């Protein structure tokens, strides 16, 4: 099984993604790869349309797991709308905001995706959005989706063993 990592927006998230690959490849021969946002290497803003197109290309015709952090969680919802039949499992980490607009995106994207194939990790006091806010948000979308509270007070998600256990 292939796994793609969709990191957060800023360049320092590349380190998180590389650390995830290192930790996840210890016990598997599965291919795990990182999508590198165009704005990391070129002077450009984030274009959801561009990034989704590139990610769909990277995934190809294979089935794939997605591990997404921060802005990657939103991009994942757009990918689900395009190639949901090729997505095996989804791990969401650090959903950065909960708004009515975001709720509509998540609800429409997750409508046909099995709730047992998606989990969410949110730090208790994530500075962008707390666990309580994300829990309420996800309950409104699908109460069957498991949302796990993690003890940190930052936007870092080093829960690689949890990731491995879910995608194995």
Number of domains in the chain: 1
Structure-block tokens of residue 127: 């500075």
pLDDT-derived band at 28, boundaries 50, 70, 90? confident
Whole-model pTM? 0.96
pLDDT averaged over the chain?
A: 95
Q: What is the pLDDT of residue 103?
A: 95
Q: 């990918």: which residue's tokens?
A: 79
Compute the radius of gyration of the chain from its Cα atoms. Answer: 15
Q: What is the mean pLDDT of residues 52-59?
A: 96
pLDDT at residue 25, rounded to an integer: 83
* Distance between CA atoms of residues 2 and 13, nearest Å: 20
Q: Is the pLDDT of residue 47 over 80?
A: yes
**Host domain of residue 110:** 2-167
- Token pair in block for residue 6: 């969709």
Tell me the CATH number at 119.
Answer: 3.40.50.1820
Per-residue model confidence (pLDDT) at position 26: 75
Token output for 50:
């561009």
């Amino acid at each position: 099984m292939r796994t793609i990592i969709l990191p957060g927006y800023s360049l320092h998230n590349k380190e998180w993604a590389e650390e995830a690959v290192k930790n996840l490849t210890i016990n598997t021969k599965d291919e795990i790869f990182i999508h590198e946002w165009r704005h990391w290497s070129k002077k450009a803003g984030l274009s959801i349309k561009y990034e989704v197109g590139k990610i769909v290309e990277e995934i190809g015709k294979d089935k794939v797991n997605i591990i997404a952090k921060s802005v990657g969680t939103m991009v994942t919802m757009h990918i689900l709308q395009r190639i949901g039949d090729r997505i095996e499992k989804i791990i969401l980490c650090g959903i950065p905001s909960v708004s009515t607009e975001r709720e509509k995106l998540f609800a429409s994207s997750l409508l046909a995706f099995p709730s047992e194939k998606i989990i969410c990790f949110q730090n208790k006091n994530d500075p962008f959005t707390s666990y309580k806010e994300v829990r309420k948000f996800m309950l409104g979308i699908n109460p069957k989706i498991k949302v796990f509270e993690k003890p940190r007070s930052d936007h870092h998600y080093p829960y690689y063993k949890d990731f491995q256990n879910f995608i194995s």
